[in-house]
Amino acid sequence: MIQRSVKEVAKMISVLNDIQSFEDQIIKGVCIDSRKLEKGNLFVPFIGQNMDGHQFVEEAIKQGAAAALWQKNVPNPPVHLPIIIVEDTLTALQELAKSYRHQLDLKVIGVTGSNGKTTTKDMVANLLALKYKVQKTVGNYNNHIGLPLTILQLNEDTEMAVLEMGMSGRGEIDFLSNLANPDVAIITNIGEAHLLDLGSREAISEAKLEIINGLKKNGLIVYFGDEPLLRDKFQSYQGDATVQTFGRSERNTIYPTVITSGDVGSSFKVNNSEEEFYLPVLGTHNIMNSLAAMQVAVYFDIPYSQLNEGFKTLKLTNMRMELVEGVNGEKIINDAYNASPTSMNAAIELITYLPGYEQKILVLGDMLELGPKEEEFHYHIGESLNPERIDYVFTYGNLAKNIAKGANKYFAPERVFTFLEKESLVQELKKKTNAQTLVLVKASRGMKLEEVVEGLQK
Cα-Cα-Cα-Cα dihedral of 279, 248, 245, 203, to 10°?
A: -110
pLDDT at 267: 94
Helices (H), 168-279: 172-180, 195-198, 201-208, 228-235
Residues of the chain with CATH 3.90.190.20: 322-456
Amino acid at the residue 147? L
What are the angstrom distances between the C-alpha of 146 and each of 32, 92, 139, 166, 198? 10, 14, 10, 10, 22
Amino acid at the residue 71? Q
| Pairing mode of beta strands 277-279, 322-325 | unpaired
Helix (H) / strand (E) containing 187: strand 184-187
Computed over every residue of the chain, the mean pLDDT equals 93
Largest CA distance in the chain: 77
**Do 400 and 368 contact (CB within 8 A), yes or no?**
no
Residues of the chain with CATH 3.40.1390.10: 3-89
Q: At what angle do helices 284-299 and 341-353 cross, to 10 degrees?
A: 110
Report the C-alpha gap between 203 and 224 in whole angstroms.
Answer: 17
Question: pLDDT per residue over 413-425, tens digit each?
Answer: 999 999 999 999 9
pLDDT at 168: 76
The total of other beta-carbon atoms located within 10 Å of residue 42's CB is 27
| Pairing mode of beta strands 322-325, 392-396 | unpaired
The total of other beta-carbon atoms located within 10 Å of residue 348's CB is 21
The rounded radius of gyration (Å) of the Cα atoms in the chain is: 24
- Residue 318 scores a pLDDT above 80: no
- Residue 193 scores a pLDDT above 70: no
At residue 281 the predicted structure's pLDDT band, cuts being 50, 70 and 90, is confident
Helix (H) / strand (E) containing 422: helix 422-432
Mean pLDDT of 351-363: 91
Helices (H), 258-386: 284-299, 307-312, 341-353, 374-383
Fold of domain 3-89: 3.40.1390
- Residue 383 scores a pLDDT above 90: yes
Q: What order of strands is seen across the sheet that includes strand 416-419?
A: 322-325, 331-335, 437-442, 359-365, 392-396, 416-419
For 52-69, letters b (16+ CB in 10 Å) and e give: ebbebbbebbebebbbbb
Question: Helix count (H) and strand count (E) of the chain?
Answer: 16, 21
Superfamily of domain 322-456: Mur ligase, C-terminal domain (3.90.190.20)
Question: pLDDT per residue over 143-159, tens digit each?
Answer: 999 999 999 999 999 99
Q: At what angle do helices 201-208 and 228-235 cross, to 10 degrees?
A: 50
Report the C-alpha gap between 192 and 368 in whole angstroms.
Answer: 10
Question: pLDDT per residue over 85-110, tens digit each?
Answer: 999 999 999 999 999 999 999 999 99
Q: What pTM was estimated for this model as a whole?
A: 0.82
Report the C-alpha gap between 394 and 392 in whole angstroms.
Answer: 7
Q: What is the CATH number of domain 104-312?
A: 3.40.1190.10
pLDDT at 316: 75
Question: pLDDT per residue over 74-83, tens digit each?
Answer: 999 998 999 9
DSSP 278-308: EE-S--HHHHHHHHHHHHHHHHTT--GGGHH
pLDDT at 196: 63
Amino acid at the residue 441? V
Considering Cα of 163, then 167, then 171, then 175, what sign does the dihedral take?
negative
- Residue 194 scores a pLDDT above 70: no
Question: pLDDT per residue over 36-68, tens digit each?
Answer: 999 999 999 999 888 899 999 999 999 999 999
At residue 176 the predicted structure's pLDDT band, cuts being 50, 70 and 90, is very high
